[in-house]
Amino acid sequence: MIKGFAGRVLEVDLEARTAVFRPLDEAIARLYLGGKGYGTRLLYDLTPPGIDPLGPENPLIFATGPLNGSLAPQSNRFAVVCKSPLTGGIGSSACGGSFAFGMKKAGIDVLVVRGRSAGAVRLEIDGDADEVRFLDASDLWGLGTGAAQKALGKGMHHAVIGPGGENLVLYAGIVSDARIAGRCGVGAVMGSKRLKALSIQGTRKLDMEDEAGFKKYTQWVRQVFKGHPVLGEKLRRFGTMGIVNTTNGRNMIPTRNFQEGHHPDAMGLSGEYLEDHGLAGVRSSCLHCPVACGREVEVPGAGRVKGPEYETVGMMGTNLGVTDLEKVSHWNWMADELGLDTISLGVTLGFAMELQERGMLETGLRFGRAEGVAEMIEAIAHRRGLGDDLAQGTRRMSEKYGGKAFAMHVKGLELSAYDPRGSYAQGVEYATTNRGGCHVQGASMYFESTGPLTINPQNLKLKAELPVVQQNLACAVNSMVLCIFTTYGLIPRQVHALKPGGWTHRLARVIFENSGPAYRLIMGSKLLQVTWLDTWLSRITGLRFTPGHLQEIGARIFNLERMYNLREGLTGADDTLPERILREPLFKGMDSGHPLDQLLPRYYRIRGWDSHGVPLPETLRKLKVRT
Ligand code: SF4
């Protein structure tokens, strides 16, 4: 078995109450790494087309990668893969917390949960004894995610759902510690299996190819991260909310359901505000992460809890026209407890507010007003009254009540908190990403608009190349399974040090945005190991990796996801953006919306797809994609 892998897959059937340990397929691990890559391949192989995402036949796959369980910073994460009940296509989500560490300690790379239990159930997995216990969970059913983990106790690593998942809210997530695999409705799939919680433990040691070399290199990377202007300074000091002032200043923070990209009071939701007002004393982080991008806040009635992330203050703050940090922190805590994805929740609430504003539906929710929001979040999680409709997400709401032009989703997955009219490459990424409108499947906006280089968003240069490279990289990173913020660290501190507006900054920007084919060539090179991502992998596995190998593996995963989506009925027609983004200017003086129609054909060509967005046979052959 390749080093870094435990070499085992655990398959659990909740109906038959069986648990079988099988060897990890080494060939698949070589081709797809682990995490979402391995999970996607399993999902593709294990299921026929057209299954009901909330039926027992949809497997829920928890997958780690070769770096999980090590001390590599930002590596204690797991991926969850299944058919998404929200989009009907590939569903994948990633989570920090400690469950991934527990899986590797238990000697399990991949855990496949199949079937449906007759009653509420929880699993206890002891990796040392190779034992899986099926336990009655009726006493936990209905508990929030924090309360459930508290009841399960310390000593094991947990992954749980809240009432949102139990009641099949289509954007319910799975929580480990204070982190959530929020996207694509993976929590609803777990709820459909009547599986409340997984607890895991073990003491197995991770077998590495070059343990001393890996440790030494990891120490060096920790120092690099520590001195990095984003990872070691900005993110560490202000948390992810440190980005609010940047996106607000660049007209990119969703405001009133993406009607605008700027809110005059957004400063009140920023990391700087949090620091100035002493609202956050304690950082919070995923296990072993030196960046610690989370912040704890005081919530009346709940005490000190994990505070909102950038995505939450964007989608449940400015997007609702609300800039009261205490209110947003309270809603964030509620969503975490109920096990709901705050991105999809915020977009759906914003949509309900616009329906109200336009007189299309009496929702009782209004932009800029906090009244009724907390009650609606509860109603959504328990599917009461109108909450039952909102629990279906924005796309289904728009199909029932109208307003498709301002329903802010792609493929059914709600957009995250970067308006792509201020970041054209991000728009291409939203439109083409297989799981739908999401920013962590590439994060082009950072390399294009919100990071240190800020390419001109009003031209088309690099706007098709960047998403391809970034999506491939993200597929590989999500299969290792590392936090996407590791890729932010790929821009060296020297670039951050360039004075904005200065001639060196302008020159660097012009070179970058005109680099198109050269950029792809450099990122695709298999000659040199240049990033910690490929060096880490090589030191732990003993296999040779370079950025070019990661691009190839990422492209393979991306194309397999694409083939899965095509199989399930999603087509090139789904590679689009909401009408509002395509047609409406974001700010006064902007010509129109997003030029997706000019960029998509180029994107398809670079991908090796035909004009309908179908991968060409030679592309699949070259990448060794299994179909
Ligand atoms: S940077 Fe933040 S999200 Fe990423 S691993 Fe660290 S604490 Fe978790």
Pocket-forming residues, ligand 1, beta carbon under 6 Å = 74, 96, 285-286, 289, 291-294, 483, 485
Going by pLDDT thresholds of 50, 70 and 90, the confidence category of residue 297 is confident
Q: Is 263 exposed, middle or buried (0-12, 13-18, 19+ CB in 10 A)?
A: buried
Q: What is the DSSP string of 19-88?
A: EEEEE--HHHHHHH-SHHHHHHHHHHHH--TT--TTSTTS-EEEE--TTTTS--TT---EEEEEE-TTTS
| Average pLDDT for 469-473 | 95
Interstrand relation of 195-201 and 157-160 (parallel, antiparallel or unpaired): antiparallel
DSSP strand pairing (195-201 vs 121-126): parallel
Question: Which tokens go with 51?
Answer: 């299954």
77, 100 Cβ separation under 8 angstroms: yes
Distance from the CA of 591 to the center of ligand 1, in angstroms?
A: 38
Of 273, 283, 325, nearest in space to 300 by CA: 325
pLDDT band at 281 (very low <50, low <70, confident <90, very high): low
CA distance linking residue 577 with residue 253, whole number of Å: 17
240 CA: nearest ligand 1 atom: 2
**CA 330 remoteness from chain centre:** 22
Rounded Cα–Cα distance for residues 445 and 467 (Å): 9
Distance 233 CA to ligand 1 centre (A): 14
Name the one residue in this structure whose structure tokens are 């993976």.
186
The confidence band for 279, taking pLDDT boundaries of 50, 70 and 90, is low
Q: What is the DSSP letter of 230?
A: I
> Which among 289, 295, 477, 486 is the best mutation to test ligand 1's pocket, defined by most ligand atoms within 8 Å of the CB?
289
Nearest CA, atom 7, ligand 1 = 285
Q: Which of 93, 291, 309 to mutate to test the pocket of ligand 1 (most atoms within 8 A of CB)?
A: 291
| Segment of 125-129, 230-234, 518-522 carrying the highest mean pLDDT | 125-129
pLDDT digit string, tens, across residues 17-55: 999 999 999 999 999 999 999 999 999 999 999 999 999
For range 580-593, the mean pLDDT: 86
State how far the Cα of 208 lies from the Cα of 108, in Å rounded to an integer. Answer: 15
CA nearest ligand 1 atom 2, residue: 293
Ligand 1 centroid from CA 505, angstroms: 29
Q: Ligand 1 centre from 285 Cα, in Å?
A: 6
- The mean pLDDT value of the chain amounts to 93
Q: How far apart are CA 399 and CA 405, in angstroms?
A: 11
Residue 500 reports pLDDT greater than 90: no
Q: How far apart are CA 171 and CA 387, in angstroms?
A: 13
pLDDT of residue 430: 97
d(CA 431, CA 355): 24
Residue 580 host element (H or E): helix 579-583
How many angstroms separate the alpha carbon of residue 451 from the centre of ligand 1? Answer: 18
Report H helices in 489-616.
Answer: 493-497, 503-513, 516-523, 532-541, 547-567, 579-583, 596-607
Biggest alpha carbon distance in the chain? 67
Distance 627 CA to ligand 1 centre (A): 34
Q: Per residue in 357-389, pLDDT tens?
A: 999 999 999 999 999 999 999 999 999 999 999
Cβ atoms of 480 and 65 within 8 Å: the answer is yes
Q: In this predicted structure, what is the pLDDT of residue 309?
A: 94
Q: Which residue type sits at 123? A: L
pLDDT digits (tens, 9 = 90+) for 342-360: 999 999 999 999 999 999 9
Q: Whose CA is nearest to atom 5 of ligand 1?
A: 74
Q: Ligand 1 centre from 33 Cα, in Å?
A: 21
